[in-house]
Amino acid sequence: MNGIFAPAIVDVWKQSPSIFINVVFATIFIGQTIPNLKMIWRKVAPQAAFGQILGWGQYVVGLILAMTVLVPVFNLPVISGCLIEVAFEGGHGTAAGMAKTFEKLGFPAGADLSLALATVGLISGVVAGTVIINWGYRTGKLQIIKASAHSETTEKTSTAEPQEIQIARRNLFRDLLIDPLSFNFGFVGLAIAFGWLILEALRTLEAVTWGASGLKLMPYVPLFPMALIGGAIVQIIVERTGRRYLISRALIENIGGVALDVTIITALATISLAVIGNNLVPFLLLSCAGIVWNICAFLFLAPRIFPTFWLERGIGDMGQSMGVTATGILLMRMADPDNHSGAFEGFAYKQLFFEPILGGGLFTAAAPPLIVEFGAFPILLLSFVIMIFWLIFGLINCKRIQLAAKSA
């Protein structure tokens, strides 16, 4: 029995996630204003620290679990310790994009397990976040202040694009000989092309340097982290040349949204339930470990990392670390619908310091081959040191901001 769909259709679906995930990541920065990093660092430092703690902590928890239980008891490869970060922090898109990497490294079950874990993380993130927000309302931990209709209108007006850009874009789209959606899709394709060039350059550099001695990592790195960097390059070029009106962020988001839908649907449709059944206990252990780490880190560390509005600002990072960025945004809207805390800006700008590294970034892609090459303990030690660095920085930065506020 082959099921409802023919094997040829299923084969196409299996290839789709690794293709469409490049489109998703390419659209993250296109059409977004990329600010001066020095100007925004002071505002987003607590957000960046907390996000890094959650992400690197998932490697610490996952690798400890793999080294102590999953490998010796269940005979899984040690790269199974990466599954929590790939699935929870990266979400379905990253899990689907990493499928070929797991397959190349001799762990084909990793793709199905990470996709199933991503589903668990997404559901548990929404449920846990809703419970925590309700608890915050009842206990007064949620410091939300309702804004007036006038303030809401002012905020929407202030965050809108300048009128001259809107007029220039309307004139451009009116005179275009192609559909505006296709025109904007061209910028997405350009971003992916830039990402491909970067990836090929890194592979060439590796081949003529450290790769010549046998250490090869870049063949296992997928294209989508580079597509994200390519999108940032496209946006910088457009801004520097004064052509921001060429790109419609709304259309770019539509393109990324459709690509993400295709990625998730085709990935979920090709999950092997037999693989999950054969690894049910490790799957449950990874799920519980990821959920417990994210919730406990939020409850115990967020109040000590964020000097103000710790629940409103931290809930977005917790949601993202258990599902996707959209989960974090959903929980922030539930906790602070009028954005009185400034959580939306901090959460958005934090991605500049976060996405290129974790949650589908460079280290997410490089971690499995690094573990295969150097072993689990060095990567565990590296993750632990980085997590502790961000923890110490976050605690000190929070105290500094609180002292500055008192002396002002």
The answer to which of 227-236, 295-304, 308-317, 350-359 has the lowest mean pLDDT is 350-359
DSSP 358: S
Mean pLDDT, rounded, of the chain: 81
Rounded CA separation 289/234 (Å): 39
Query: Quick check: 30 and 187 in contact, CB under 8 A?
Result: yes
Q: Is residue 315 helix, strand or coil?
A: helix
Residue 184 burial (CB < 10 Å; 0-12/13-18/19+)? buried
Rounded CA separation 227/236 (Å): 14
Rounded CA separation 62/380 (Å): 9
Q: Is residue 106 helix, strand or coil?
A: coil
Cα torsion 169, 175, 180, 186: sign: negative
For residues 264-281, give the mean pLDDT.
69
Which pTM does this prediction carry?
0.72
Cα torsion 146, 150, 151, 152: sign: positive
Position 106 in a domain:
yes
Kindly give, in sequence order, each residue whose CB lies less than 8 Å from that of residue 15, ignoring residues fewer than 6 positions away: none
Position 377 in a domain:
yes
Position 342 in a domain:
yes
DSSP string of 16-76?
HHHHHHHHHHHTTTTTS----HHHHHHHHHHHHHHHHHHHHHHHHHHHHHIIIIIHHHH--
Residue 72 burial (CB < 10 Å; 0-12/13-18/19+)? exposed
Q: Is residue 219 helix, strand or coil?
A: helix
Give residue-wise pLDDT tens across range 365-387.
888 989 988 889 999 999 999 99
Position 309 in a domain:
yes
| Distance set, CA 42 to CA 36, 47, 350 (Å) | 12, 10, 11
Amino acid at 21: I
Rounded CA separation 278/125 (Å): 25
Quote the pLDDT of residue 265. 76
Kindly give, in sequence order, each residue whose CB lies less than 8 Å from that of residue 157, ignoring residues fewer than 6 positions away: none
Quote the pLDDT of residue 19. 82
pLDDT at 157 over 60: no
pLDDT at 156 over 50: no
For residues 219-245, give the mean pLDDT.
83
Tokens, residue 377: 């303990």
For residues 46-68, give the mean pLDDT.
92
Quote the pLDDT of residue 35. 66
pLDDT at 388 over 60: yes
Kindly give, in sequence order, each residue whose CB lies less than 8 Å from that of residue 178, ignoring residues fewer than 6 positions away: none
The more confidently predicted of residues 173 and 138 is 138
pLDDT at 354 over 50: yes
The answer to which of 68-72, 75-79, 97-101 has the lowest mean pLDDT is 97-101
Q: Which H helix or E strand runs over 272?
A: none
Position 122 in a domain:
yes
Tokens, residue 92: 């379905």
pLDDT at 179 over 90: no
The length of the chain is 408
Quote the pLDDT of residue 150. 39
The answer to which of 67-71, 74-78, 315-319, 337-341 has the lowest mean pLDDT is 337-341
Give residue-wise pLDDT tens across range 9-30.
767 776 777 788 788 878 878 8
Position 170 in a domain:
yes
Query: Quick check: 58 and 84 in contact, CB under 8 A?
Result: yes
* Tokens 């939300």, residue located: 144
pLDDT at 39 over 50: yes
For residues 87-112, give the mean pLDDT.
83
Position 364 in a domain:
yes
Quote the pLDDT of residue 379. 94
Q: For residue 232, what are the domain limits? A: 7-407
Q: Is residue 279 helix, strand or coil?
A: coil
Q: Helix axis angle, 362-374 relative to 376-407, nearest 10°? A: 140
Query: Quick check: 356 and 229 in contact, CB under 8 A?
Result: yes
Residue 388 CA from chain centroid, whole number: 21
The answer to which of 45-49, 246-250, 277-281, 346-350 has the lowest mean pLDDT is 346-350
**Number of structural domains found in the chain:** 1
Q: How confident is the model at residue 220 (pLDDT cuts 50, 70, 90)?
A: low
Quote the pLDDT of residue 154. 38
Position 1 in a domain:
no
Rounded CA separation 342/309 (Å): 9
Alpha helices in 140-215 (DSSP H): 149-159, 163-175, 180-208
